[in-house]
Amino acid sequence: TNKPGNRSVSCSQLKRQGHNENKVYKIYILGKPVEVWCDMTSEDGGGWTVIQRQSKDEKNESFFDRKFEEYESGFGTAGGSFWIGLENLRALTSFPNNQQALKIEMKRSNGPWSTTVVYYHKFQVGSKDQQYKLTIEEYDYKKAGTVYNAMSNQNGTGFTVKLNGKPKSKEPSCFKETLTGGWWFKVKECNYANLNGRKLGFVLPIAWPRGIAWFETGETESYYYTFEKVEMQIRDADFGFCTGSLKF
């Protein structure tokens, strides 16, 4: 079990200790030091641990094309493009009686809107034996409306890696044959979200590998949107109650 002890295990804990600057901090996951970026100044109260980021400065569109072992251990740098690792995610989201919330920030480079933020009040990653199964629940409709609830579609799925993204046909169904990166991909159904896909600078033809994806309900064109930056953050779901801010 990942117990806090005398060392900080999350940005939520650091925030409660009085750390208020956005920067790289060292937290301890299962006793091992891990550098993470902490968002301490957001309008919703701060205390967020960044677990994934495709940076706006990232020029390598295939940075997230990695082997499964790399997704397990993590890669990148806390201040830039970054994946904290599935083993770390499992530990961070398995504290007894300490549910984690997930915030996702997306800045798009095309399409009708530029930036959106969505919240899920329950986020958990299972063990390796469970294929790092995703639990994603309690979407906050009040924050972003109903059309952006893309990730609930993949609730209960295991984590897999798509290395080549080569299609078997000219028009693959729901782009399942052209997915890229590592994610909680559904096997027999459409995937509405993939924040670890390639960071494409322009829209590619239908049979080409897909990039970052966040499907909007009723908007088929959203499969073709490109993104300048995406970021996933977690913090204690009861953070607002503990700090008295109640902003989340």
What local confidence, expressed as pLDDT, does residue 140 receive? Answer: 94
Q: Average pLDDT, stretch 114-141?
A: 95
The residue extents of the domains of the chain are 1-239
pLDDT at 205: 61
* Measured torsion, CA atoms of residues 201, 168, 132, 93, in degrees rounded to the nearest 10: 20
Q: Would the CA dihedral through 208, 66, 75, 232 be positive or negative?
A: positive
pTM, two decimal places: 0.88
Which pair of structure tokens corresponds to residue 99? 């549910």
pLDDT on residue 201: 77
The mean pLDDT value for 180-200 works out to: 88
What does residue 61 show for φ and ψ, rounded to 5 degrees?
Answer: -65, -20
Q: Please tell me the CATH code under which domain 1-239 is placed.
A: 3.90.215.10
Percent of the residues in the chain that have a pLDDT greater than 70, as a whole number: 84
Angle (CA) 39-121-245 rounded to 5° is 55
Encode pLDDT of 75-104 as tens digits: 999 999 999 999 999 999 998 888 999 999
Alpha-carbon distances of 48 from 11, 90, 124, rounded to whole Å: 6, 17, 15
Give per-residue pLDDT as tens, 134-178: 999 999 988 877 788 999 989 999 999 986 555 444 444 565 667
Number of Cβ within a 10 Å radius of residue 194: 27
DSSP sequence for 165-197: ---SSSS-GGGGGG--EEE---SSS---EETTS
Q: Which of 191, 230, 180 is nearest to 65 (CA)?
A: 180
Q: Is pLDDT above 90 for 27? A: yes
pLDDT tier, 244 (very low <50, low <70, confident <90, very high otherwise): very low
Q: What is the pLDDT of residue 246?
A: 46
8-18 average pLDDT score = 94
- Gap between the Cα atoms of 116 and 185, Å rounded: 22
Q: Which residue has the higher pLDDT, 246 or 25?
A: 25
